[in-house]
Amino acid sequence: MKKVNKIIAKISTVLPVLALMVGIIAANSACVSYYHQPETPSAMDAYRK
């Protein structure tokens, strides 16, 4: 059980950073299909170039 907790602790430090990076990349790119352009949250506007 201690080994599982250590693995979860390591993953939980990397996962938010990865999610932020994916969000920034998604905020700065457009979808290939014009009809499938999803709405982005207003909080992601701060990360747009």
pLDDT in tens, the chain (49 residues): 899 999 999 899 899 999 989 888 877 776 666 666 677 778 877 877 7
Cα dist from 32 to 19, 36, 44, 45, whole Å: 21, 8, 20, 20
Q: Looking at residue 23, what is its pLDDT?
A: 84
Q: Looking at residue 33, what is its pLDDT?
A: 64
Residue with token string 């939980």: 12
Residues 6+ apart with CB under 8 A from 45: 27
The Cα–Cα gap between 10 and 26 comes to 25
pTM: 0.56
